[in-house]
Amino acid sequence: MLNSAESVAAAARRAVAETAVTDVHTHLFPPSHDGLLLWGADEILTYHYLVAELFTVAPADLTPERFWSLPKPAQADLVWEHVFVKHGALSEACRGAITTFNALGLDVAGRDLAGIRKWFAAQKADEYLARVFEMAGIDYAVMTNNPFVPAEVDCWGRDLPRPECLKTALRIDPLLVAWADSARALAEQGYDVAPDGGGRTFDEVRRFLADWTKRLGPVYFAASLGPEFAYPDESLRTQLIDRAIAPAAKDAGVPLALMMGVRKAVNPALGDGGDGVGVADCSALMGLLQQHADAKFLVTMLSRVNQHELCVLARKFGHLHLFGCWWFCNNPSIIDEMTRQRIELLGTAFTCQHSDARVLDQLIYKWSHTRAIVAEVLADKAGALVAAGWRPTEDEIRREARAIFGGSFEEFLAK
């Protein structure tokens, strides 16, 4: 037994530092997939978080059009110069890049970008991926695999090798947010679908999802949805969910993972960095949970405003599992707040974080930063239990740390 707040806090910090992480949502790819896996100094520096930050401080003559016309190394140079050197690397995105370079033993204090690039140029993707996973303490990460992106479809059609530490997820939001384009794509692949949803459309969408499930073996189906998403309503989208997507997920025995609240392209000139945030309608999620009580749902929401109501829903519906502090919530102050709130309402029945990494190297900083924050939250909460009279063991503390870093996710999948 651990008999003092100090001993419990120390045990919590050890447990969080040592527990294996399951990264339940990323945008990574196998190294074999024809350059789809992004990594290295220039990819880190031109990630859309930093590009968006660049245009808050860039001189007037550096327009997005000019920036995008440049080769990637020149883009990275501009980010390094204006964001890091001239304006201070205080943002979480900047600190993340510095944490990553420093953890790899590279000279960030000397601001030696040329030397950093030289080091990355000497790495091999397969070996580097294994090294990053080991540094981050990840047992496996779940990718995002989109059957509507030709380059990805081509790679899966060639049965290329995939490391065991990368698992698949089937991206389905084109069916929900761009049905006209999706219908054309399905028709070109031989599925008998109609733009108005007539005929055999729903059965054929279900067959399409079954075919891709057989090909990929996904951990879940995934969709990113805007704040305007409503359910139920009179739209074709509701029918697609009820008559095709939810039944296909149940057939496959996998959850629907919904990432809710992104406003797409509020500033299109910034590319991937041009998306914004909106408050999602939690009643739409509640409707899905009520209508599909025999399905499982993994959910994260982008707006801080949604987090309390979302936690309450997770208390009421056992087939809902919350995960991650997504995107604009991936800031230390908000991670701390969200993790405390979730522990207070849900115990350990949630997954505290996902990296959402599009660049392999980001795994290093996102998990080291998260561990530091969550360790203090868990230490505080465990210490409060001691003050209340409970005496946890070290094994119990380790169990609870693993639960919020992936154990509860595994239990939810196994339900």
Q: Which domains does the chain have, with CATH numbers?
A: 5-35+123-414 (3.20.20.140), 41-122 (1.10.2020.10)
Beta bridge partners of 260: 225, 301
Q: Is the pLDDT of residue 5 over 90?
A: no
- From the number of C-beta atoms within 10 Å of its C-beta (0-12, 13-18, 19+), residue 359 rates as buried
Phi-psi region of 137 (alpha: psi -120 to 50; beta: other; left: phi over 0): left
Statement: residue 63 has pLDDT above 90: yes
Amino acid found at 373: I
Report whether pLDDT(332) > 90: yes
- What is the distance between the alpha carbons of residues 361 and 100, in angstroms, rounded to a whole number? 7
Can you tell me whether residue 342 is helix, strand or coil? helix
Q: What is the pLDDT of residues 42-59, one digit of tens each?
A: 999 999 999 999 999 999
Indicate the pTM of the whole model.
0.97
Q: Which residues pair with 23 in a beta bridge?
A: 141
Residue type, 212: W
* Residue whose C-alpha is closest to residue 97's, from 403, 339, 365: 365
Q: Three-class SS string for 165-181?
A: CEECCEECHHHHHCHHH
Band of the pLDDT at 335, cuts 50, 70, 90?
A: very high
pLDDT at 400 over 90: yes
The mean pLDDT value for 76-105 works out to 97
- DSSP state, 242? I
Residue 1: pLDDT over 80: no
Residue 34, pLDDT score: 85
| Percentage, residues of the chain above pLDDT 70 | 100
